[in-house]
């Protein structure tokens, strides 16, 4: 099929083939408009349908009630790292952050740059971020508590979410959004850069609860103020139309082809199991995350030595499997198996891992 | 050809057909990668080639010397409205702004929200923004002077740029970037939301001079600091890859198919002349901009009454010409004839205008 490769990139990442085909097939003439989807006005009926359909599908998939607002904001999750403290932390107030790796650390750093008060409530830095902290005591006076739900670099993931009492929980879900059902009653806000599980790079989905919008500080620049997006259906200025369109199609695929988030989770569990089973079957491969904190999205592992890892990555590529290099900050190997990674692709990788181990182990 | 329409949208706007075809044809397998361009890593050799080729072409087209840095930032020109004062205006310093319409007004508003000192050096508000002010005396102590080079809503454009002496000139060129050669020695920074002349919505091109980077304030959030982008080749975090890719292809089209900005300007002058000639030939159509301030990009005009305008827009659409409605804030008609609008399309519109006038005038 068009000489496609099995793509295990950490992000931007694989998208469902049916989504790519639909984009390609209508690219010169979107829905009878005589224009490409990149050429239609964001004020047109076509784009209105795209953005509203995307939002409705997200609402259905996550079972959002009307308290929640779905926004599309540019700048990736990294822009949220500064928008969150800017919008919610008045002078003299404080927020809790749990530090589970590179991305949490960056979120904390941006709050500190803004001279906001930050409480590191828990951290797994003591063991190189190889686990998710448990039994955390959150600060009752915090305006919000922030976590990173899945950690792409260290391959850890919150299997259940912490109880923060009355403190609104905010989660960066860039790398596991829509990979499993969510109990949204726990969250004041979640956000996700699209380029891992729901679309291309260039848009961040933000889901925000009414009461969080009431906390928004006055006198923020328009583009950095959540109410600008909530009051204008994310179209105060021209939104990243192509990225929103792709999200719409991925949501359609999730609903129609996959059948919702429960099914998606079952598939994701099966895929992760295929790889962790190979890893755990001997001593050749070694998972980097503690067993009870392992990610279903990013399977990180080491081989006996770095030369062997290089060879593994190279031979995998020769066998049609790309993107297996670990993050440059930690090395090793990583298979990112987001929603659109197929069972077929993961089976091929599991088989390759077994063969490679037999040959070299 | 795929039932394409003549597209006169103000933005997002028409793109060169050869660019759209190239995107479509390689959409499932970019350059032998086995992945869509939306699925490749931004740290891959493929994306490195894309972003660097885009930058080199921009440098050649605008004859930039090494003082200038080409950056890609998300959030559109509207995000620049706040980033500019945030980055360049220390407490107690002031900037000049020339107000030539809606977009200049918004740029000024964002500086004021940030509690920055702004000098409205000149304005054409006295005549409903129908002209570009001349002989402006800029404030010698200003950190920068800001203008909007082309005004999409009122159809005016700076035909030549003002002398600001030692004060760096910053221009929002969202709607006429790459439409004509530029003498970049006049500018400290220019910026342009891509979705009119150079690509899809979702990225803003910023070209910034070394000395402006030295002005950047400390302690800005990473994503709002120009040096974050200049020091990491716009890849501190995941860039809007698809939008940058499309810009690369549009720049290739400008160099290879059009033959550079001098040729582009000649074509744009010819297109604008076709329409203004029809408008000026009688009293049925009336241009809204003063003659010496008319835009080559957005031809704005009125008909004898609003009913006639509605009919004109409707019949044009029935004849395969879309996007002719004026901006909702001013009404009337507008033909946006950006770089990718073909002479053929503009000739068809000019002919339609003559026929419509004969029938109704």
Does the beta-carbon distance from A76 to B38 stay under 8 Å?
Answer: no
User: From the candidates A243, A247, A329, which should be mutated to test the interface with B, based on the most B CB atoms within 10 A?
Assistant: A243
pLDDT along chain B (361 residues), means of 10: 88 97 98 97 97 98 98 98 98 97 98 97 97 96 98 96 96 98 96 98 98 96 98 98 98 98 98 98 97 98 97 97 95 98 98 97 83
Rounding to the nearest 10 degrees, give the CA dihedral for residues A248, A250, A253, A255.
-70
As annotated, the active-site residues of A are 103, 172, 196
Q: Is A29 on the interface with B (CB under 8 A)?
A: yes
- The whole-number average pLDDT for the span A148-165 is 96
pTM: 0.98
Q: Which residue of B has its CA nearest to A75?
A: B74
Torsion-angle region of residue A75: left (phi > 0), alpha (psi -120 to 50) or beta?
A: left
Question: pLDDT tens-digit profile of A311-341?
Answer: 999 999 999 999 999 998 999 999 999 999 9
Does the beta-carbon distance from B201 to A239 stay under 8 Å?
Answer: yes
User: From the candidates A20, A73, A198, A202, which should be mutated to test the interface with B, based on the most B CB atoms within 10 A?
Assistant: A202
CATH fold for domain B18-257: 3.40.640
- Selecting from B15, B81, B220 the residue whose C-beta is nearest the C-beta of A39 gives B15
Coil, helix or strand at residue B354: helix
Residues whose CB is less than 8 angstroms from the CB of residue B310 and which lie 6 or more positions away in sequence, other chains included: none
CA distances (Å), origin B172, targets A95, A128, A173, B188, B345: 37, 46, 35, 12, 27
Distance CA A205, CA A73 (A): 6
Q: Where does the pLDDT of residue A38 fall: very low under 50, low under 70, confident under 90, or very high at 90 and above?
A: very high
Per-residue tokens: B71? 């950056």
Does the beta-carbon distance from B20 to A12 stay under 8 Å?
Answer: no
Nearest chain B Cα distance for residue A178, angstroms: 18
Q: Is A330 on the interface with B (CB under 8 A)?
A: no
Distance CA A2, CA A306 (A): 33
**How many CB atoms are located within 10 Å of the residue B309 CB?**
19
Do B18-257 and B260-360 show the same overall fold?
no
Q: Is A243 on the interface with B (CB under 8 A)?
A: yes
Does the beta-carbon distance from B238 to A74 stay under 8 Å?
Answer: no
Q: Return the HEC string of chain A.
A: CCCCCEECCCCCCCCCHHHHHHHHHCCCCHHHCCCCCCCCCCCCHHHHHHHHHHHHHHHHHCCCCCCEEEEEECCHHHHHHHHHHHHHCCCCCEEEEEECCHHHHHHHHHHHHCCCEEEEEEECHHHCCCCCCCCCCCCCCCCCEEEECEECCCCEECCCCCCCCCCCEEEECCCCCCCCCCCHHHEEEEEEECCCCCCCCCCEEEEEEHHHHHHCCCCCCHHHCHHHHHHCCCCCCCCCHHHHHHHHHHHHHHHHHHCCHHHHHHHHHHHHHHHHHHHHCCCCCEECCCHHHECCCEEEEECCCHHHHHHHHHHHHHCCEECCECCCCCCCEEEECCCCCCHHHHHHHHHHHHHHHHHHC
Nearest chain B Cα distance for residue A310, angstroms: 16
As annotated, the active-site residues of B are 103, 172, 196
Query: Where do the domains of chain B lie?
Result: 18-257, 260-360
Distance CA A215, CA A167 (A): 13
**To which residue do tokens 């923060």 refer?**
A164
**pLDDT at position A2, please?**
67
Q: Is A313 on the interface with B (CB under 8 A)?
A: no
In CATH, the architecture of A260-360 is Alpha-Beta Complex (3.90)
């Amino acid at each position: 099929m068009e000489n496609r490769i099995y793509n295990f990139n950490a992000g931007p990442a694989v998208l469902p083939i049916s989504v790519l085909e639909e984009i390609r097939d209508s690219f010169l003439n979107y829905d009878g408009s005589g224009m490409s989807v990149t050429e239609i006005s964001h004020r047109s009926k076509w784009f209105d349908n795209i953005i509203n359909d995307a939002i409705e599908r997200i609402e259905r998939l996550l079972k959002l009630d009307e308290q929640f607002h779905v926004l599309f904001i540019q700048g990736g999750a990294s822009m949220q790292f500064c928008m969150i403290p800017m919008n919610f932390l008045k002078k003299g107030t404080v927020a809790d952050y749990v530090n589970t790796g590179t991305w949490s650390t960056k979120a904390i750093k941006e709050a500190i740059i803004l001279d906001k008060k930050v409480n590191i409530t828990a951290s797994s830095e003591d063991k190189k971020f190889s686990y998710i902290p448990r039994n955390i005591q959150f600060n009752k006076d915090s305006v919000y508590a922030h976590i990173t739900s899945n950690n792409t670099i260290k391959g850890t993931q919150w299997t259940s979410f912490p109880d923060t009492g009355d403190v609104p929980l905010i989660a960066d879900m860039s790398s596991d959004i829509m990979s499993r059902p969510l109990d949204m009653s726990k969250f004041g806000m979640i956000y996700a850069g699209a380029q891992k599980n729901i679309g291309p790079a260039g848009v961040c989905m933000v889901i925000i609860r009414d009461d969080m919008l009431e906390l928004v500080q006055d006198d923020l620049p328009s583009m950095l103020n959540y109410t600008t997006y909530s009051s204008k259906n994310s179209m105060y200025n021209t939104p990243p139309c192509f990225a929103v369109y792709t999200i719409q199609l991925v949501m359609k695929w999730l609903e129609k082809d996959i059948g919702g988030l429960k099914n998606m989770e079952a598939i994701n569990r099966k895929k992760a199991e295929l790889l962790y089973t190979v890893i755990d079957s001997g001593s050749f491969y070694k998972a980097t995350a503690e067993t009870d904190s392992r990610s279903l999205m990013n399977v990180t592992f080491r081989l006996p030595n770095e030369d062997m890892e290089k060879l593994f990555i190279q031979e995998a590529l020769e066998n049609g499997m790309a993107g297996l290099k670990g993050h440059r900050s930690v090395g090793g190997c990583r298979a990112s198996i987001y929603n659109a990674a197929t069972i077929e692709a993961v089976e091929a990788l599991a088989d390759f891992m077994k063969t490679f181990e037999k040959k070299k182990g």
